[in-house]
Amino acid sequence: MAEDFPQMLRALRAAKGISQRQLAEAISVHPSYISKLEKGQEKPARELVETLARALGVEPVQVVLAAGHLPREFAAAIAEHKELQRLLDLASGGRLSGRFYAKLAVLLDQEDTVTVPVWLE
């Protein structure tokens, strides 16, 4: 797990002025789970990333990157490119169609690099 996730979670929760119990209720988990996340004893489940981000008022990509759900090299590339962050936000929120993924797979099979259109929304 990324070392900064527990600190980020505590800071975001404190900035929102909510307790661990309130955050747990907002994302439908037990308060002890939030405590374990903040102590670095647990990694947030992938299926909770968007819900957790929404409850904290941040983009899902911030939680994904901080939680270490991505290989370090990939996370570093995403952190440097806003368009990749947007693509990841859309993907983690289930807002990309199967057709989009199929087209992306074809592009990746054909090319070493892929240009992602900026109109993705």
**121 residues of the chain, pLDDT tens digit each:** 455 889 989 999 999 999 999 999 999 999 999 999 999 999 888 788 888 988 998 877 777 777 776 666 666 777 777 777 777 666 666 666 777 767 766 766 666 665 555 444 3
| Res 3: pLDDT | 53
* pTM tops 0.85, yes or no: no
Question: Which pair of tokens denotes residue 116?
Answer: 């992602």
Q: What is the pLDDT of residue 16?
A: 92
What pLDDT score does 64 carry? 73
| pLDDT value of residue 34 | 96
**Domains of the chain in sequence order:** 5-67 (1.10.260.40)
Q: What is the DSSP letter of 74?
A: H
Please give the pLDDT value at position 30. Answer: 96
Separation CA 9–CA 4 (nearest Å): 9
Alpha-carbon distances of 43 from 28, 35, 56, 116, rounded to whole Å: 16, 11, 16, 29
For residue 118, count other CB atoms closer than 10 A to its CB: 9
2: left (phi over 0), alpha (psi -120 to 50) or beta: beta
